[in-house]
Amino acid sequence: MSDPKDEYATWPRRKVYGGDFSGAVDAGRRIWIATGAIQRKTLQIEQCQRGEDLHGSGRGRDRCLAALRDFIRKEADAVFGLDFPFGLPAGLVEEKGWEEFVRAFPKRYASPEEFREACRGTADGRELRRITDVASRTPFSPYNLRLYRQTYFGIRDLLAPLVADRSAYVLPMQSALPGVPWILEICPASLLKREGLYAPYKGTTRGHGRARARILDRLEASGELSLPAAKVRRAVVADPNGDALDSVLAALGTFRALRNPDPVTPLRNRAYTLEGYVYA
């Protein structure tokens, strides 16, 4: 039994997952999920697996995202950090609230291309950014050419179904209630910038591999992160796309959010409750 004097015994969640998301046709191969357990001041990464390895999953996007939804639903005492935009700049949202926006999203946009063109048309061709994108120094607008598919399929196929049947709560736009998993938006690039570790690590060269190892070394040296299993660490370093590492960074960002005095309402800014909020 936990010591009642232990401040960490009062944390609302005990299991942490970090997800590197993809909207590609073969999303099951590109999505990575890192599983973390809270050990006092340290997040211990126990597993790092591809999306296609989830129960009932596969390489194709539809099957993988269905399996990921089921996986999230079953983890009632967990918090998930996912790395795609959960919303749009306020000027592009017709609905009055975020939940209404998410519920309407699947019917409003028939395809990712239609979604991107609609955003660009409303914004006169500009790539608008959310308040949280500016504050967190995220790399792209939610409908940037390199990101719009992730935004589209993340909102349509992951968040919208979970919100519709209330099998997860998305923070800080929704109340953080017990008995269901929580979902937070995370940006691995923002975390690395904050740590002064933002350097090229996605690629097949030895230099890229060394960069991935160096990032893990620095974070583990702080005592905040631990990858005790050698095979897990090898898998993260060996992934040339950096997706496995991004899932670990997403888990770490989520862990940090939980350590805040008020983890579910980081700033009481009304813009965040409509546009979304990046926790790291």
pLDDT tens-place string over residues 68-110? 999 999 999 899 999 999 999 999 999 999 999 999 999 999 9
For the record, the structure tokens of 92 come out as: 């592009």
The Cα 48–Cα 231 span in angstroms is: 10
Q: What 3-state DSSP class applies to 137?
A: coil
Per-residue model confidence as pLDDT tens digits over 200-256 = 999 999 999 999 999 999 999 999 999 999 999 999 999 999 999 999 999 999 999
Q: How many domains does the chain have?
A: 1
Q: What is the pLDDT of residue 99?
A: 96
Among candidates 131, 133, 160, 136, which has minimal Cα distance to 147?
133
How many CB atoms within 10 Å of residue 166? 10
Q: What is the pLDDT of residue 214?
A: 96
Instruction: Band the pLDDT of 264: cuts 50, 70, 90.
Output: low
**Averaged pLDDT for residues 107-115:** 97
Q: Which domain holds residue 203?
A: 7-275
Report yes or no on 196 lying in a domain: yes
Per-residue model confidence as pLDDT tens digits over 10-43 = 455 679 999 999 999 999 999 999 999 998 899 9
Q: What is the pLDDT of residue 260?
A: 74
Instruction: Band the pLDDT of 262: cuts 50, 70, 90.
Output: low
Predicted TM-score (pTM) of the model is 0.92
Q: What is the pLDDT of residue 245?
A: 98
Residue showing tokens 């591999």:
209
Report yes or no on 1 lying in a domain: no
Report yes or no on 14 lying in a domain: yes
Per-residue model confidence as pLDDT tens digits over 192-201 = 999 999 889 9
Report yes or no on 2 lying in a domain: no
Among candidates 32, 74, 8, 23, which has minimal Cα distance to 251?
32
Among candidates 165, 192, 170, which has minimal Cα distance to 87?
170
Does the pLDDT at position 8 exceed 90? no
Per-residue model confidence as pLDDT tens digits over 127-181 = 999 999 999 999 999 999 999 999 999 999 999 999 999 999 999 999 888 889 9
